[in-house]
Amino acid sequence: MEDKKYLIYHGLKCPKENHTLESLKYFENFQIDVLDLFCISYPKSGTTWMQEIIPLLLNGGDLTPVESIPNWERVPWLEETRAVLFLDKLSAPRTMVSHMPYPLMPPTFSSSKAKAIYIARNPKDVLVSSFYFHQMASFLDDPGTFEEFMDKFLAGQVLFGKWTDHVKSWRNTDLGDRIFYITYEELIQDLRGALERMLRFLGRQMSEEALDRVTEHCLFKNMKKNNMSNYSLVPQEVMDSSKSHFLRKGIAGDWKNHFSPELEDKFNAVIQKELEGSGINFPWD
């Protein structure tokens, strides 16, 4: 049955607000350049944060682009309708984000030399963040109660499918040292240190002073004020900031304010079973 709000792509829900058959074709046929850089995330894991961080690491810490170009234009989503408008205009290295699982990446991605950064976040906080996002974004279904939304999340009936499928798909790649793994929690704990590690992965250098500036700029309290990144440019009828802000709390562990002990047991049981044998260890385990 045709869904009003979502396109179903290889079984994954993609919002029609910013995904079309054409945009997904563009994604599939995208010709990857050796210098391209991908930032991959399951939704609500720190995508917007990376759209702020990466351009600054690549340009030596010049704040001009992140303060003058909207995040979806400076680091576009490869699968979204806006990619075709903005990607061709970017100078190398082109940087883009994607919520796609690894097996759906454009066929030339794995044989290319393009690099990828994968950011993961505690799925309990992903769930909480997504719950509020569904309340404020008119292009998404009403989430219902928190428990109802958790059931949908665990069943993978949410944007881009199951969280566990996503993280597992990106751990089992043949990308070798072309991929760098980082977590939202590491950025929260030591942003400067995480930026230094990403700089090394990207083969870039930055003065201590520039690194201080970038770190300060990318703190939640400062990014929240950046109109090019806080989604205040989006009309209220599309994202209703009176219900929730896109840059909402920006902390690790907000799930503790939302999970009862019963919900925590249920959530842990499903996630642990699905990650069993994967060999993946996360800092929140």
Interface with ligand PPS by CB under 6 A: which residues? Answer: 41, 43-49, 125, 129, 132, 218, 220, 223, 247-250, 254
Given the residues 99, 134, 166, 245, the one annotated as active site: 99
Q: Is residue 108 within 8 Å of residue 32, measured between CB atoms?
A: yes
Q: Which is nearer to ligand PPS, 110 or 135 (CB)?
A: 135
In the complex, what is the shortest distance from the CB of residue 111 to ligand PPS, in angstroms, rounded to a whole number?
27
Q: How far apart are the first and last CA of the chain?
A: 39
99 tagged catalytic: yes
In the complex, what is the shortest distance from the CB of residue 276 to ligand PPS, in angstroms, rounded to a whole number?
26
Q: Which is nearer to ligand PPS, 180 or 220 (CB)?
A: 220
Q: Which secondary-structure segment (H or E) carries 153?
A: helix 146-155
In the complex, what is the shortest distance from the CB of residue 44 to ligand PPS, in angstroms, rounded to a whole number?
4
User: Which two structure tokens, joined as six digits, stand for 245?
Assistant: 């802000």
Which amino acid is located at 255 in the chain? W
User: In the beta sheet, which residues pair with residue 202?
Assistant: none
CA distance 116 to 171: 12
In the complex, what is the shortest distance from the CB of residue 245 to ligand PPS, in angstroms, rounded to a whole number?
8
Phi, psi of 153, deg, nearest 5: -60, -45
For residue 50, give the nearest of 22, 24, 80, 71 by alpha carbon.
71
CA distance 268 to 118: 23
Q: Which is nearer to ligand PPS, 117 or 247 (CB)?
A: 247
Q: Which is nearer to ligand PPS, 80 or 112 (CB)?
A: 80
Q: Which is nearer to ligand PPS, 71 or 112 (CB)?
A: 71
CA distance 74 to 77: 10
Count the neighbouring beta carbons within 10 Å of the beta carbon of residue 252. Answer: 19
In the complex, what is the shortest distance from the CB of residue 243 to ligand PPS, in angstroms, rounded to a whole number?
12
What are the residue numbers of the active site? Answer: 99
